[in-house]
Amino acid sequence: MVTCHGGHVQELSMVQQNLSGTLSPAIGRLRSLRSLSLRQNAISGPIPKTIGRMKLLHVLDLSNNQFSGSIPSTLGSMVNLRYLDISFNNLSGPRPTFRAWNAFLDGNPLLSDINCEGSESGVGTPLYGRSCSESLAFPAVGPEDTRKDDSRVMDKKIMILTVCIALGCSMVAMVAGAVILFRHWRQRQRVFSVAEVQHCREVSLGHLKHYKFKEIRKATDNFNIRNILGEGGYGIVYKGHFPGGTPIAVKRLKDHDSVIGDDQFHTEVEVISLAVHRNLLHLIGFCTANNERILVYPYMPNGTVASKLKEYVNGEPALDWPRRKRIALGASRGLLYLHEQCDPKIIHRDIKASNILLDDYLEAIVADFGLAKLVDHGMSHVVTTVRGTVGRIPPEYFLSGHASEKTDVFCFGLLLIELVTGRETLELHQNEYQKGGILEWAKELLAQNQLSSFADKKLRNNYDSVELEEMVQIALLCTMYSPKHRPRISEVVTMLEEGDGVAEKWEAMKNVEEPNPEDLKYQAIAINYYEDQCSSTELQAVELSGPR
**Which residues define the annotated binding site for ATP?**
251
Q: Which of 38, 35, 1, 36 is nearest to 16 (CA)?
A: 38
Sheet (strand 8-13) strand order: 2-5, 8-13, 35-37, 59-61, 83-85, 102-104
Q: In this structure, are residues 265 and 378 in contact, taking their beta carbons and an 8 Å threshold? A: no
Q: Which of 26, 11, 15, 2 is nearest to 153 (CA)?
A: 26
Catalytic residue among 61, 106, 350, 368: 350
Integer Cα distance of 132 and 126 in angstroms = 9
350 is catalytic: yes
Compute the residue count for the chain: 548
DSSP per-residue letters across 259-280: PPPHHHHHHHHHHHHT---TTB
Integer Cα distance of 209 and 207 in angstroms = 7
Please compute Rg for the chain using Cα positions. Answer: 25
DSSP per-residue letters across 529-540: HHHHHS-TTS--
CB neighbourhood size of 131 (10 A): 11
CB neighbourhood size of 431 (10 A): 12
Cite the active site residues: 350
